[in-house]
Amino acid sequence: MKTDTIFYSLFKEFPSIFFELINQSTEPAATYEFTSREIKQLSFRVDGLFLPKNEASNQPFYLVEVQFQPDENLYYRLFTELFIFLNQYKPPHPWRVVVIYPTRRIEREQPLQFRELFSRVQRIYLDELGEAESDSLGVKVVKLVTEKEQTAPEKARQLIEQAQVEITDETRKRDLIDLIETIIVYKLPQKSRQEIEAMLGLSELKQTKVYQEAKQEGLIEGRQEGLTEGELKAKLTAIPRMIEFGLSVEQIAQLQDLPLEVVQQASQLFHQQNVAALVELLNNQRSLFSQQDLAALVELIEPLPDKIEDLSYAIAQWCKQEGNAVQLMAWRQIRSGLLSAMVEKLLGRNSDTQETPSVSVNKAMVQNAVESGESFE
């Protein structure tokens, strides 16, 4: 599980949760910016920093580290990064370090070298959080990361219900629910996103107008945080190519400096468009396929699970096989229009040229198209 990605996404979207974890009032959260900083010496990057927005304040800045594996060198590396950062940026604030562990046994303390520094280091052990902290929705979401696979879905459903009751801002509510879903996706990698949506009772919620409007508003807000529309569009347009090169959504999010959930949504749409393009090709240009081609597609699709990513990759590989050049060209032409519509959708607009399918494609729809050329229903 990519725990550091989860935590950093959580702190960026909901900084108040960090202050709950360190037993501080959540009021200062609005006066801090959660960010990362490159430090030139030795090519270090400090990934988790809470920096006061007001340089004249006497508030501390926090260096945050999430550590879920034993590491004898953690504190050596952490203090090296801290003091290089201090030397390079010379921040006008006192420093504090917060390290988040799932359990105390993971920590490798190294008191010989760092005992005196630990007075400014706060260690958080998630399995030792008391009942008072557990009453907080934010802290419960943090603890979901360490929940057992067997009980995590039920805990997630409870948190989603609590979020729907407690959070009035629709965009923030949607962001937190998406984050809860992402945690479960990481914890249950053998499950498809559609299966997890059904497991958490999200399928109907995601179709509501309020949820969709909040999703679009979130993307637009992301655009306004320093990116022009053209820059954001270029980043979104590059995502399909990066997926084809085999990069994970986490790698793409880091390389493109985009929220993980935006890349996840783009990835899901990309795979849907790959499959939808073949279905449309079979329905509207069936003459391009010989009986041998159709038989090969039947044999290809039959053993696959009903998982959009598997269908997408298999279809792409079939189209690229030697002898399928005509189908590949036609498939890419259709897909190009669908991908343009995908980018427009992610930008919160409707495409003027071609809309994305109104229903999610699945294995049965592909099989129907191969066998009889049936259209989307």
What's the alpha-carbon Rg for the chain, to the nearest Å? 24
The count of residues in the chain is 377
Beta bridge partners of 121: 97
**CA-CA distance, 260 to 250, in Å (whole number)?**
6
Determine the 3-state secondary structure of 47 from DSSP. Answer: strand
User: Between helices 291-301 and 363-372, what is the axis angle to 10°?
Assistant: 160
pLDDT value, residue 221: 54
pLDDT value, residue 375: 42
Sign of the CA dihedral 30, 35, 40, 44? positive
Which one, of 215, 112, 211, 199, lies nearest residue 154 by Cα? 199
Query: CB within 8 A of 77, min separation 6: which ones?
Result: none
**191, HSE (Cβ side, Cα atoms, 13 Å):** 18
**CA-CA distance, 246 to 68, in Å (whole number)?**
26
159-183 as b/e: b if 16+ CB within 10 A: bbeebeeebeebbebbbbbbbbbbb
User: Between helices 260-284 and 363-372, what is the axis angle to 10°?
Assistant: 20
pLDDT value, residue 352: 44
Q: What is the pLDDT along the chain (377 residues), one digit of tens a residue?
A: 467 777 877 888 788 899 988 988 888 898 998 887 766 655 556 668 999 998 888 899 999 998 988 999 999 999 998 998 899 889 999 999 999 999 999 999 999 999 999 999 999 999 888 655 456 888 888 888 888 889 999 999 999 999 989 888 887 888 888 888 888 888 887 887 778 888 888 876 766 666 566 565 555 455 445 556 677 777 888 888 888 877 888 888 877 778 787 888 888 888 888 899 999 899 889 999 999 999 999 999 999 888 888 899 999 889 888 888 888 888 988 888 777 777 777 776 544 444 444 446 788 888 888 887 544 44
Could you tell me where the DSSP H helices lie in the chain?
3-13, 15-21, 74-89, 111-114, 131-134, 137-144, 152-166, 170-187, 193-199, 203-207, 209-224, 229-244, 249-256, 260-284, 291-301, 308-319, 325-346, 363-372
**CA-CA distance, 249 to 255, in Å (whole number)?**
10
Task: Specify the residue for token string 């995601």.
Answer: 206
Cβ atoms of 64 and 49 closer than 8 Å: yes
pLDDT value, residue 136: 81
pTM for this prediction: 0.56
pLDDT value, residue 358: 41
DSSP 114-144: HGGGGGGEEEEEGGG--HHHHTSHHHHHHHH
